[in-house]
Structure formats: C-alpha cells, structure tokens
Structure 1
Amino acid sequence: MLRDFAATATIAATLLAGAAAWAEPIRIDVIERQVVPPPILSNLIAPPEDLGLAGAELGLADIQATGRFTGTNYQLTETRVAPEAAFLPAVQALLAEGARLLVVKAPAADLLELADLPEAAGAVIFNIAVPDDALRGTECRPNLLHTTPSLAMRADALAQFALKKRWTRLALLEGPNPEDAAFAAALRGAVAKFGLTLAGETGWAFDADMRRVASEEVPAFTQGLPDHDLLVVADERGDFGRYIAYNTWLPRPVAGSEGIMPLGFSAAVENWGAAQLQGRFREIAGRGMEAPDFAAWAALAAIGETVTRTGDPAPAALRAYLLSDEFRLSGFLGTPLSFRDWDGQMRQPVPLVTERAVVMTAPLEGFLHEFSELDTLGQDRPGTACTRFGDAR
C-alpha cells in the first residue's frame, strides 16, 4: 500500500543564498514491516495502527514548510509490507525505483537484511523502532542510523535517576520474552556502570490472568526479594508489569517498562516547545506522540536540516553531514540532537515519564562528559563494539 505526499515548493533565494532548487523532489521512503503482535495477558490498550508513520507525516509537513522557502521539494512514499509477505523483494523493488533515504520500522533481522543488500550500500537507513544494543555494537552497519534510543541509553537514564534519588539498592523483575532479557541485560550493565547495587532479581513465573489475582499473587511473589529502594521491571511487551505497582510485598516505587519509564518520547513531554509539537501531531494523528513517532519525525527533520544546510541531497553527502560536528537538530528535549560517528546512534535526552507526567529528563545534572553529556547515556566511543561503521571525522 503506497501513499505519496509531495511538497509544492516555491523559491525564496533571499532567505537562503545559493540554495538549489531541484526539478525532481527529494524522495524519502517510510517502510513498515508489519508483524503479528504476540499474545499478552491483557489487550486492553492496543498500539496505534499508525505508530511511527504518523510521526513521519508530521516530519514531512515540517520540512515542506522550510522547503517552500528554499526551493526544495520532498516526496514521502509509504510502504507497508504485510506479515505474510516477503520483506526483501518489497524493499528491493523500492531500491530499484531509486529509493535511497529509507525510514524503517521493522524487526532487527529485517533491518540487517536490508542494510546488507548490495543495492542498499549507498543508501541511508534510519531505524526508528529497534532498540537492540547489538545494532549499535557487533551488528552495526555503515548505512544504518538510529533515531530511537538504545536499550543502554534507556537503562542508563534510569540508573542516573535512581542515583540522583539515592535509591542505590535495586531489585529486578524480568519477563520471559527475549526483549525482556535484552532490557534486563542493559539494566544490569547500567547498575554496574553507575555503581548501584542489584540486591536481587527474579523472573516472572505466571501465565494466569492477573486482572483477577494480582492482589493475591504479586505480594507473595515479591516477598522473597531482599530489601531494595526501587523495583525495576523488564516487561517490554506490556504483559504483566501493569499489575506490579501497589501490589508488591514491600511498598516501593516501580520503574523500567512500567511506573517511571525511560522512553525516547511520550505524550507527556511538553517543555522546550514540545507542547507545540504535540499539538501539531494531534492534528495529524488524533493522539499523543509516542517514541516511534518521534523517532520517525526526527529522521525526516534530520534529512530536511541537512539538505537546508548543505544544499546537497545525495545520500553520501547527507550521511557525512549528519555524522559531522556541524550537525545539530532542535528536538524539543532541551538539548540539540546529533549523531555519534562511531555507531550511528542519535544522541538525545531520555525523558523519564509516568503515564501523565515527566518526572525528570536524563542526562541529569552532575553527570559529566568530556565531549557531550548526552554520551553518558548508552555506549560511549571508548567501549564501542562497532567496527563496521567507520569514523566520519
């Protein structure tokens, strides 16, 4: 299914001297690999069908507005690949048509297969959904950038918050799914990185309907955990975590996948002009902006910012500028966004949010870094396992 959104631009040379006007629009492809969601204990809150895609549409509207003054046209092509359809032939067809700027919402395996295609070697691919640390480490690719925070960034944000609150003894409750194990591993790494103590941990061991028995089962289940200041939950599918708060044996705050959540973005983010971003997004989507929406918006905004500053829409030139010290993107999070030139990860603050409010935004005051305080979140240059990305400096 394809939908095209084309900008009708005018030239205003007085506002950007030397800006080039392209006869053909700059093509940006948004690709979603649809997946059948796994069963969970409660389907009370289903994810929006346009999650991520709506953010791309807002991003297009924003860069179109600038393009009208610079004589730049943009065209957004949206492709959804059904769960039963083959992914690679679909993206190969787009590459054969000339697609080179790809904003992709797909599982890690599909992302890597796309990045490894010979015809995608000269493309720039933005990952807007997969937080796996391996994609920024041993499985990094030179044509793959990430506008969604890594698991390590989210875990480090939560560890900074815990340390700031002097909640130094943590307990971990890990779900049974692979994504839960990955987040739990990132949390353990953050505990070690910031000198916290993991007092105890346990795995979720129930498959019952917690809507009926949470008040009976959860207290007994958590009774065996040693004394702790903060209970951290790794439940990335939203399966059981919602039943943990206020049912634990010890009255302790809950964080991680539930409670105080470190997220790339949230409908609760309002400071630094984000209220205006949220308002424009609600006009398009009829809901609040979530992390994949923001990641897609950031990818489009980064493309638009680069083309405006450099006057060159070629993928190689775009990649080089994105990874340079000159690139900065105003991202409504209090600090300009940029990209790490050792693994392609977008540097960004990580809001720590509840369902309706921002508690704090990491990096927190006092966590310093010789280059950028944003590099206190996630994998820094000295410890990176990425050897295939290349250094743009």
Structure 2
Amino acid sequence: MGLPAVALSAELQTVNIALIEYEEDPRYKDNIIDARYQAQPWGRLEVAAKLAIKESRFAAQKKGVKFELDRQSVSELSALPELIQSLEAQGTQYFLLDLPGEGVKQVAQASKKPSSLLFNLSALDNNLRNEYCQANLLHIAPSQRMLTDAMAQYLVAKKWKEVLVLYSESEADTRYLKSLQTSAKKFGVDIVNEKPFKLGNDPRQRYRNNISLLTAKDDYDVVYVVDHSGEFAVDVPYSIIQPRPVVGAAGLVADWWHWAWERNGAPQVNKRFMKKGKRQMTGYDWSAWMAVKVIAEGVLRQETFAPNQLLDTLLDKEFKLDGAKGYPLNFKPWNHQLRQPVFLTSLNRVIDRAPVEGFLHPVNNLDVLGNDRGEGQCDLSKSTASGAK
C-alpha cells in the first residue's frame, strides 16, 4: 500500500513559499513578545504558515502540487534585494513578507519577475497601499487606516466623540497619528487635544511621562493612545484623572484577529493553532495563515496550475475567501489590500466588529475601512485585466 503514496508524492509539483524575516525586527524583541501587548505579535509566524500548508495539503494534491515553506531571514534590511533576487533565480515565486514597512518597500523594488507575488503579512504602513503600491504586492494585514477607521466608527456609534489623544513623537507614531486624524475627519470624531508622551520616569519630563498630568486639564469622552509598540499605552488604563475609557493601543484596541472570537469557525482555527504553536493566535499569525490560504485557494481555482496567471486569479471579482471572520474576503483592485472586517477588542474579549452597524458602502461594506476607490495615489485596477470590483 506504500508504493502508490510514494509514487503520488514523486509526481507532485513542489510550490515553494518563502517566508522572509528580519532578525533585528523590533516588533519581535524578547521584552515585547513576553509582555503580550494587545495587537502586537506574540511570536514569529512560521507556525501559522505551516498550519495553513497542512490544512491545504489534500486539496493541493488533487491539483498535483504540494506546498513547502522556505524560511529565510536577513540581519540587515539592505540584504533583502540580494536575497529576493537569489530566490527568484532559484524559481521561488511566492513570498510571505514579515518585515517592517521599509523592508517591504525594498523587496517590492528589488523583485524583478512580474510573476513573483509578494504578500505583506505585518506592515501596516498606509503608504505601502498608496504611493508605494505595486501590482504584485498584496496586503494581507490591514492598513493603519483600516484600524483607525474601525475605532472611529465605534466611537461615533457610542457617541464618544470628544477625544484626547496621547502620542509619541516617533516616526511610526507620527504616521499613526496622521491616520487617526484622517479617520476622525472622515467619521466626525472631535480631537480636543493632542499631547506628546515620553516613555520613562525622568522627573524632568513629568509633563510627558506622568499620565495623571497628561490627562488632568482637558474635557473628553475617551483617551486615544497612539503607541505603535504598546509599551507606554499598557499603563494608561486606570491611570487617567477622569473616569473615561481608554482606546487605541490599550484598553479597547482595533485588531484583525483575536483568540476570543467565537463565531464563523474561528474557535476551530484558534484551537488548531494553539495545538501547534502552544500560544494564542494573533492578527500577525492570522496574516501568515491567510496568505497561504490565498495562494492555495488561487491554485485550486485554476483548471491547471498556472503560476504566471495566479495574480489574475486572485484579483478576479469572483474570487472570495473564508477567513473565519464572518465576511467573504477578497482584494481591493485599486491597491491590492485584502478586504476584511476589524475587531474591537479588550484583553480577553471581542467587543464589536467593524464595519460597525450603520456604516454602509454602496458597493461593498468592507470598503468603509481604509482607502476607498479614488482615494490616495494608487489605482492598480487600470493595469489589471480582471475587472474586479
């Protein structure tokens, strides 16, 4: 009985999927991982990608293919172009990018083969979906705008429209703040004040690192903490002067996956991941799991495996995926962002899901999150043949 299985294995076409990581990625520092901050990675993404490969293996075999994960890393972002071009020369066409935004941009610029597909797993930078968008770059992780849009919808729905913003002056949080400002203007949230904070306990910086002093004078419904790392935000709930909710990077947090989501098959996904990874699944893990699902589903939709035509398959208006989030998911044709709902979460509960009830769109309700068609500087739909909507 063993010989047919061996023969079958020998006949399968191997499809290599490269997972690209940055060894010095600050998001994966031990203190960040150990702290388990909300909406932050809790571990590397290899486990999630391998889980999706395992789940897809039988369907893939029927198409005569098998997926294999090739994990690669660089110690310097400047090494990415050489790595990507080397892998392309070896025949790799599918790349899962667990990189900061600058790394994703470098890979996109370095990729020389139009048939190579780059899947952004973890960079939330709006500019990757805007001025730096590229036809073969698909975004599985949501943009920062999608997350701030989701939170703005929830604040409006709860009538918590007067918002005090605390933010760091880092480059990442400057971009985060700009995204929040855009979302606030779009949905009618009033930012009553914006105050910079500084992580630490230096008494000379007490007006920036003392949460009581930062939140004492203004009149507000809610405090929004703009903190891309979560290190300052974790101390803000229950430390502000007025009895008000805290949202943003702590308290109520917009996230694209949460282990406490109990519908749409999510408990089964979480259980399988927990068994394999020995921890709870995060949005970052979901991105890796989902990216492999996208590739596998695209391959299965083709009559015969045609890797050079997979992008057209993925962008076809009939292409939809189940991400265990309750909506059919597909890609926005204008910037290749995966349409998806966003969860509003506490530490151990999903409080709501955006699009929040009452926020509608004439074509697809998921398009009330992030850039809509015609917004920004990216319109890739003009260069694709699928005609997706």
Q: Indicate whether the TM-score tops 0.5.
A: yes
Quote the offset at 1:81 in angstroms. 2.0
Return the letter of the residue paired with 1:115.
A
The aligned runs of 1:201-220 (5 Å cut-off) are 201-208=194-201, 217-220=210-213
Q: Does 1:52 align with 2:45?
A: yes
Quote the offset at 1:154 in angstroms. 0.2
Mapped to 2, the partners of 1:9 and 1:104 lie a distance apart of 33
Return the letter of the residue paired with 2:272.
R
**Aligned partner of residue 347 in structure 1, secondary structure:** coil
Quote the offset at 1:314 in angstroms. 3.3
Q: How many residues in Structure 1 have an aligned counterpart in Structure 2?
A: 373
**Aligned partner of residue 95 in structure 2, secondary structure:** strand
Mapped to 2, the partners of 1:85 and 1:385 lie a distance apart of 26
Which residue pairs with 1:88 in the alignment? 81
Return the letter of the residue paired with 1:179.
A
1:325 to 293, 312, 317: 317
**Aligned partner of residue 321 in structure 2, secondary structure:** coil
Quote the offset at 1:142 in angstroms. 1.1
- The answer (yes or no) to whether the contact 2:12–2:64 under 8 Å persists in 1 is no
Mapped to 2, the partners of 1:361 and 1:240 lie a distance apart of 25
Q: Deviations over 1:45-68 (max 9, x none)?
A: 167674222211111111113224
Which residue pairs with 2:347 in the alignment? 355
**TM-score, length-normalised on structure 1?**
0.88
Which residue pairs with 2:127 in the alignment? 134
**Aligned partner of residue 195 in structure 2, secondary structure:** strand
**Aligned partner of residue 270 in structure 2, secondary structure:** helix
Which residue pairs with 1:31 in the alignment? 20
2:188 to 195, 202, 209: 195
- Identity across aligned pairs (percent)? 30
- How well do the aligned residues superpose, as a CA RMSD in angstroms? 2.7
Q: Does 1:61 align with 2:54?
A: yes
Greater mean deviation of Cα atoms: 47-56 or 184-193: 47-56
Mapped to 1, the partners of 2:292 and 2:69 lie a distance apart of 10
**TM-score, length-normalised on structure 2?**
0.89
The aligned runs of 1:95-174 (5 Å cut-off) are 95-117=88-110, 119-174=112-167
- The answer (yes or no) to whether the contact 1:169–1:229 under 8 Å persists in 2 is yes
- The answer (yes or no) to whether the contact 1:264–1:291 under 8 Å persists in 2 is yes
Mapped to 2, the partners of 1:8 and 1:155 lie a distance apart of 51
Return the letter of the residue paired with 2:322.
S
Mapped to 2, the partners of 1:23 and 1:38 lie a distance apart of 37
Mapped to 1, the partners of 2:379 and 2:321 lie a distance apart of 26
Return the letter of the residue paired with 2:124.
P
Return the letter of the residue paired with 2:228.
E
1:274 to 257, 261, 266: 266
- The answer (yes or no) to whether the contact 1:127–1:145 under 8 Å persists in 2 is yes
Quote the offset at 1:359 in angstroms. 0.5
Mapped to 1, the partners of 2:310 and 2:266 lie a distance apart of 26
Mapped to 2, the partners of 1:221 and 1:278 lie a distance apart of 38
Quote the offset at 1:84 in angstroms. 8.2
Structure 1's unaligned 5+ residue stretches are 1-6, 12-20
Q: Deviations over 1:87-146 (max 9, x none)?
A: 222222211111111111112222222212252332110000100000000111111000
Q: Decide which structure has greater helix share.
A: 2
Which residue pairs with 2:176 in the alignment? 183
Quote the offset at 1:361 in angstroms. 0.7
**Aligned partner of residue 374 in structure 2, secondary structure:** helix
Q: Deviations over 1:191-230 (max 9, x none)?
A: 10001211111110352289xx99x931122113x21111
- The answer (yes or no) to whether the contact 2:226–2:248 under 8 Å persists in 1 is yes
Mapped to 2, the partners of 1:337 and 1:131 lie a distance apart of 18
2:238 to 231, 246, 255: 246
